[in-house]
Amino acid sequence: MKFLRQVFESLVFAYQALRSNIMRTTLSLLGVSVGIFAIVAVFTAVDSLNGKIRSEIDSFAGSGVLYVGKWPWLMQNNYPWWKYLNRPEMKYSEFKYLKENLTSAQAVAIIDGGRTASVNRGSSSMDVNITGASYDYNQVTSCPINEGRYFLPIESDNGLNVAIIGSKVAENLSNGESIIGQVIKLNGIKFSVIGVIEKKGNDMLGFGGTPDEKVIIPYITYATIFQKDRPQPDISIKAFEDDVNQQNLEGDISGMMRSLRSIKPKQEDSFSINRMDGLNQFFDGIFSVLNIAGALIAGFSLLVGGFGIANIMFVSVKERTNIIGIQKSLGAKNYFIMFQFLFEAVFLSLIGGIVGIGLVVLITLIPQEALPLSLSFKNILSGLMISSFIGILSGIIPAWVAAKMDPVIAIRSK
């Protein structure tokens, strides 16, 4: 109890010392405020960018979805593009076989896109990105309908001329009225609009073009009209939400595709099974480097703030040498003296950290359409821990010097 009481008294002494020198305290913590602001702002920006990219990957590719196609997504060193170039494209018959026989799959769809076309209605026109997709497209990826409806199975299977359009396409072609049920022309071919996709905004990664400027039509219609010369579809297959099921599904897909294409046991696959894991690992590496680089750069300003606190603490020890001598002559222990100055340094640094975090909070409140910033509890905690560590590091030497003073010499000093 005596030890705890003396620790509390040290806290009180540290608080009184800071309060008695408001101007010096304020100037001292500015350096730490700037440093913590820089570090937390970097972590927040990187985390927000990471979250947005992950969200767009899930929106484009879906969660737990495997993509069977001609090309692998990740290009490594010595990428044998010539080998992949000679592979056959995915076929509609292969999609039908997988859809009918893959019992471990939740949904199977065939998707083709990347083709630009001109869409017009009356005097309004614009260029759009067309995606051809089978009926299960909305089960393997995000396709929220804001107005109207999604494809019917009969529309998808029979290749009818129906279209689901992006919000920007609807705005440009609607002329102030509902676009649902209206006829538009894609490269001069008539399509009936049955649905409008929810507005999403710009896609940072550019997957499939800007979502709001997209038109989705049945895959059979797309293959017949737009890609009859060089179809390049992928078969997307959604697994049940279980890692074990996803691994089993990948094995089932590989076995069925090799059987369909009569690939001998020693021959390489003539197809690629792509997962989001590889793409996510790629971005993990990038964001790890960004976090480290940002922290190192911001750390320099924090280091300057730490030196500022250390300098002030040495000045404080010098000013209070007489008081230290009196306290020690009255029986104060070394740890009692050391805690006074250590707590003072930590208080300074923590207050500076709180101010820096507060500045980041103010920035996150500013509306950002391109990259909304969100300050996580983890980053707040990291900022407070870093500022506390800087306070301990800056105050430990001055506190040790004060604790080791000879009481007689300290009392005689002026």
Q: What is the mean pLDDT of the chain?
A: 81
The string of pLDDT tens digits covering residues 284-313 is 777 778 778 777 777 777 777 788 888 878
The string of pLDDT tens digits covering residues 152-177 is 999 998 999 999 999 999 988 887 78
Q: Is 361 exposed, middle or buried (0-12, 13-18, 19+ CB in 10 A)?
A: middle
Span 256-283, average pLDDT = 82
- Specify the pLDDT at position 202: 63
pLDDT(8) > 80: no
Q: Would you give the end-to-end CA distance of the chain in angstroms?
A: 35
- Specify the pLDDT at position 18: 60
Rounded to whole angstroms, how far apart are CA atoms 299 and 346? Answer: 18
The string of pLDDT tens digits covering residues 11-23 is 665 666 666 666 6
pTM, two decimal places: 0.64
- Specify the pLDDT at position 134: 93
- Specify the pLDDT at position 184: 92
